[in-house]
A and B are shown apart, each in its own frame.
Chain A
Amino acid sequence: MGKPEPTSSGVPDDRQSTTAADSTGPYLRVTDLRVRFDTEDGVVRAVDGVSFGVERGRTLGIVGESGSGKSVTSLAVLGLHNAKRTTISGSICLGGRELVGLGEEQIRRLRGRDLAMIFQDPLSALHPYYTVGRQIAEAYRIHHPGASRRAARQRAVDMLDRVGIPQPAKRFDQYPHEFSGGMRQRAMIAMALVNDPALLIADEPTTALDVTVQAQILDLLADLQAEFHSAIILITHDLGVVGQVADDVLVMYGGRAVEHGTAEQVLRRPQHPYTWGLLSSVPTLHGPADADLVPIRGNPPSLIDLPAGCAFHPRCGYAARTGGRSTGEVPELRPTDEPGHLVACHLPAADRVRIRTEETAHVGVQS
């Protein structure tokens, strides 16, 4: 997905939208985002200084293990964190409007209209007691208070049809448990897109699905993106998925961005040892069939008590080559010699390129 296409959604837009700033930079611009939770055990720095941007018609893949801060980032963009226990700083700029510090009511009006979200497990993300159609129609009527019940129903049926659900009028009146997993995720997508959001956040949209269905859902997202020209953030731990659909990739570790660049740069010429690790743990079709997968040793760090210096150093095979800097100094996200490719690593650039080409040449995902 993500080949920039001319805007041809043709959908009547009666609202005061935030899409006006379309031409003046990325639709979503996140700058130095920090999200902290106050818990009884201490302060959790779930996201610590992350920046990225997504343009309309493009897809950003955010990759990382669980606890890397990728879902927290997306929930922060939607303003869904509990305001009492969460401190958010930095800037989230959506279509020219600053979301950080916006009141609940103002951000509520944007939610589901200008930015929408698809969740990982469509069975638990849909209300079990209401029909699928009713839930989609509800999403429509929230932002179209003037719409009649019948108009909302028609709109929901159209959306079900659009996401490839057969017999949409009949499916409208069925409950989530009467849908298959793939159909449920299609229904979730229909619900997220019912108000033509300019930004769609998909949090592990295919993780709970069959592999065969995964590809269909990804194709569907790509089609819809081409049609509605929306920006998509795809959150996943699956590098195969990222390689398939993302234009840009942000790799997160311990609440920080460790590598950022185009999909081509990050997946084909990765420069961060953590990205190498992620790529080595993905089965590949190109190497010998009996080649062992190489897992990243150790576990993701606790966000309350991050390792000093580079958060990845306890698991990094190359930490010793940094002359002690990796334990004492947090690496900054710095440009590499490729424009737009950023990496946060203490290893000298020449070493990184050499290690990648010599030791991890087999890794990489077809993109």
Chain B
Amino acid sequence: MTRFLVRRLLTAVLTLFAVSVLSFLMFFGLPRDPVSGMCPKNCNAERLERVREELGLRDPLVEQYANYMKGIVVGRDLGSSQGGRCDAPCLGYSYVNSEAVTDTLTRVLPVTLSIVIPAAILWLVLGVGLGMVSALRRGTVLDRLAIGFSLTGASLQLYFVGAVLLLIFTYNLRITPVPGYTPLFEDPVKWASGLVLAWFSLAFLFSAIYARLSRAQMLETLSEDFVRTARAKGLAKRKVYGRHALRAAITPVVTIAGLDVGSALGGTVITETTFGIQGLGRTAVDAVRAGDLPTIMATVLISAVFIVVANIVVDILYATIDPRVRLR
């Protein structure tokens, strides 16, 4: 287990290194002038020149990259126009936002986490629950309803579902407030009510996929020999399903869920845009629009971190569920 973790962490670092090199090359190495997009309004030639100087764009690419990585690990000194000393993890300075990128991220990251984690819990419980019930009640009205639900969920788009929910609950029924983000520890009720529509739209779409997946998995598991053995022992159906079938059926769901949550944490652009909430996803899109290179870099890196971590978590969970998988 320890050996597995060490090895996985090493590969994770390597992966992230590769991601950072590639994205750095892509954004900073291309023959275009990154400064014109970054510099605040009313730039004159002299100001542009100074910004280029302070961003270190005149240095060789390797040195720029080394400086960038050094900033992440130990921090570095940026020019006075970039706020001077930048502590680790320093991801550079954004002229567009007029703040250090790390500060932007510390502000928007909790927003995305607040959207994704409760939504993920909702969609897993709803999706897996629905899938299991419809597998066990195969062919009944309940099963048909569940299949209809997943078909609907799979065919709809988030901006549509979100807009409909907004229209109904916020503008017509006035049950929920206009969506927005309030930090959880400031006011939990406001936090929840501002995000609840986002949770449910995400959960609706995802749980549709998970319902279908877990239904199929459960049906497959129910035809396994060991389920028949459990029944032949005289185990009550409820326990056969709960103890023997569920555990086997849930394994592939765990894999997909881990990867989905990982990539959702990297930014839920459409959700954030639909509900007008400034999270990681929208920050990334804004940065791309404004050509805000340090912010783009940072959001790419952080999404990569989420995916890599999610992968490791999935592997560990897998080995916990299935003893045949040995972590070496």
Contact = CB atoms under 8 A, between A and B. Distances in A.
A113 interface: yes
Given A108-B236, A191-B233, A128 B228 contact: no
Interface in B306-328: 321-324
Contacts of B46: none
Interface string B228-261: 1111111111000000100110000000000000
Contacts of A127: 226, 229-230, 244, 248
B234 A143 contact: yes
A191 B234 CA distance: 12
B232 A124 contact: no
A6 to B, nearest CB: 29
Interface in A85-134: 104-105, 108-113, 116-117, 119, 121, 124-130
Interface in A247-264: none
A315 interface: no
Given A129-B248, A175-B324, A142 B226 contact: no
B234 A125 contact: no
A260 to B, nearest CB: 26
Contacts, number: 68
Nearest to A126: B226
B220 interface: no
Interface residues of A, number: 29
B186 interface: no
B224 interface: yes
A142 B244 CA distance: 14
B225 interface: yes
Contacts of B235: 108, 112, 138, 142
B229 A119 contact: yes
Contacts of A188: 229
B323 A129 contact: yes
Contacts of B228: 80, 119, 125
Contact of B322 (A121, A125, A129, A138): A129
Contact of B224 (A78, A108, A124): A124
A139 B324 contact: no
A188 B235 CA distance: 16
Contact of A138 (B233, B248, B321): B233
Given A121-B225, A128-B324, A129-B322, A110 B233 contact: no
A179 to B, nearest CB: 12
Interface string A290-332: 0000000000000000000000000000000000000000000
B323 A128 contact: yes
Contacts of B322: 128-129
A117 B234 CA distance: 11
A352 interface: no
A177 interface: yes
A128 B234 contact: no
A174 to B, nearest CB: 9
A125 B323 contact: no
A279 B226 CA distance: 33
A128 B235 CA distance: 17
Interface in B209-224: 224
Nearest to B231: A80
A190 to B, nearest CB: 12
A30 to B, nearest CB: 18
Given A125-B226, A128-B226, A128-B324, A139 B244 contact: no
Contacts of B229: 119, 125-127, 188, 191
Contacts of A177: 323-324
Nearest to B140: A84
A24 B226 CA distance: 36
Interface string B157-189: 000000000000000000000000000000000
A80 B232 contact: yes
Contacts of B225: 119, 121, 124-125
A329 to B, nearest CB: 38
B233 A175 contact: no
Given A142-B234, A177-B324, 7 more contacts: A119-B225, A124-B225, A138-B233, A139-B234, A142-B235, A177-B323, A191-B233
What 7 A-B pairs have minimum CB-CB distances, sorted nearest first? A112-B234, A111-B234, A124-B225, A112-B233, A139-B233, A127-B226, A125-B225
Interface of A: 78, 80, 104-105, 108-113, 116-117, 119, 121, 124-130, 138-139, 142-143, 175, 177, 188, 191
11 contacts: A104-B237, A109-B234, A111-B231, A112-B235, A117-B232, A124-B224, A125-B229, A126-B226, A127-B230, A138-B235, A175-B323
